[in-house]
Structure 1
């Protein structure tokens, strides 16, 4: 049996106009400083030597061979020779001779050698590039989309307002209707419409975490759902007039009746759209899996399939089971408010950063300005 949620709804004491900011949780290659690697530098006597030395080094000891192609080879009179770690039982002179450099060039290069730390990897964002430049000249190819994720400019004012409205709805349901249990909302970003709304039902089964319930409720809008019997009393009975439209309008079949009634009757949320797009036809999984990264394009092309192209708003960071479930469900983005002690998107590790996965969603933490985003929930 589902939990009894018949207690009256309280008003959540929040500032309705409070704006929420969605901060991207980027993979480490974008969020951390570039590691350093130690190389041998040679300081030449004059600039006239650079041309001949560069020709020989580019031919016999290219930077690409050392995975340092992101670096400029020369800085004023200093020139990169090789990584210190590439030398085994040889000294630098023996090593340069072994790669085929002529004696004259080796003599020039070995006259004034020192060790120096340079960026080991290419800079991905401008802040990394500017920091790397203080160490050694680098090549940099800006990625406007990733820059916008990092600096927050990816969202315009209208989108930020939408985030705020959804977060306000989410926390109202969590605190006033679900006794502070984890809650989640699934949104179709094309229509800005609520597809499904769920809360944790772990008291029924230990695997019925909020994100798993949310995915299951999304499946209801696609004529699926594995837990129909377990939560049957959360949805409409045949004699309930207010919810009778579900029978002829299954686009709202992912929203339990209490939530639906609340959204429909509360003036604060009158502008929030509800309803999912109905499945267009039976699809083969392979048809969509081939373009798994083009989430919104696939949603536009094929119609709803699992959570493809959908955005999920969660009151807390999902655990590994749930985070992986959202990978399998092909979610587009995951927004969460609080970190959790067993969270799999930032607290323990970053699941979305594992390159070997066949699908990756973007992750954002929602917070108000000045709020501590590192607060962890132990529940």
Structure 2
């Protein structure tokens, strides 16, 4: 089927996380007189810290007696607890389960603590084993045992597929058709297109060439083409050598001359590994006014630095507060702010390359349950340890029934 005849489903924002179901843990809870509250908290912190349950409040007022405090002594396993007490949480999770517990079920140190602080009763209580993801979950789960509500580190996670608006749908469809057409004409099953959303103009494109080179996945090749284009356009006078020349990547509208044709980047006859020296003014600008550029281990400030290091890794400068878009466009870093359209869901390698390239959005057509890293077998865009994140959208094809 030709790309122009393809019919798409409504594009959706791919959730960064799946919604966690309520899972409970068995808590040994003891009641103590109110007056021992401060001493009790210190003793519990020393005798039985609960690092895995820090979302739970350690102490609460006893719901049936205002003169008592109830405190979590420890979390219990299933061993030695009656079958009745291990019955699953009721179908109404807002109803707290509380069952009697014998003192000898506790470690010796907690038995001593219970006696020394005037413990009056022991009960087994179900509490949430994990911190809630959303405010709605917190409102339900905290009824089992009080939970301290904290906004998740990554903000509130995206848990449901959210449809895009009509304007975004048209924008997505237009560029996905281009990616599908590129894959079709290249006789491969995957292709990538990188687009500047400000102008809606393609920046780079590439078809999958992993059969020729294991690193030339469509996304990897398109990122390389886009970065070479940006290096050629900024700053004026800076040229670079394409280490993947002849690899099939296509950097679009690189350096148009007066007649509108594109000039070839690099120096004819120059072998890979050689590079031109940057002008002194350019070196000073890129290094914040210092004419020396750190070329890496083994180089000194007196050596004549080359541009090759700049072609491999873009310099990022702190120039004070700026508008995000202005900063991204004035001193670009790889694919900052761009959208990446790819026919097949990226694998982990390609998804990480898009993280390092600072793309804004990734839109894919065909999900990959085996190797897909953005909703298939992994959700890389939910990883909190990464220093950049992007939004992920799925623009599926309508299947004939």
Match of 2:389 among 352, 361, 364: 361
Superposed, which structure 2 residues align to 1:185-264 within 5 Å?
185-221=193-229, 222-223=231-232, 224=240, 225-231=242-248, 245-247=260-262
Structure 2 unaligned runs (5+)? 78-103, 233-239, 266-284, 288-309
2:340 to 300, 312, 326: 312
Show the 5 A alignment for 1:61-210. 61-62=44-45, 65-67=49-51, 68-72=53-57, 73-74=59-60, 76-77=63-64, 79-84=70-75, 92=106, 94-96=108-110, 98=112, 103-106=116-119, 108=120, 111-114=121-124, 116-133=125-142, 135-142=144-151, 146-147=155-156, 149-151=158-160, 158-175=167-184, 177-179=185-187, 181-210=189-218
Q: Secondary structure at the match of 1:112?
A: strand
Superposed structure 1 runs of 4+ greater than 6 Å apart = none
Task: Determine whether 1:336 maps to 2:364.
Answer: yes
Q: Could you tell me how far apart the structure 2 residues matched to 1:335 and 1:91 are?
A: 54
The change in CA–CA distance for 1:79 and 1:169 in structure 2 (over 3 A counts) is farther
Of the two, which has the highest radius of gyration?
Answer: 2
Q: Where in structure 1 are there 5+ consecutive unaligned residues?
A: 1-8, 251-280, 372-379
Q: Sort the Cα spacing of 1:156 and 1:235 in 2 relative to 1 into closer, same or farther, 3 A.
A: closer
Report how many residues are paired: 309
Q: Deviations over 1:125-167 (max 9, x none)?
A: 2354255245433232446984473345696554444334433
Q: Distance in 2 between matches of 1:134 and 1:179?
A: 58
Considering fraction of residues, name the structure with more helix: 1
- Equivalent residue number for residue 81 of structure 2: none
TM-score, length basis structure 2:
0.60
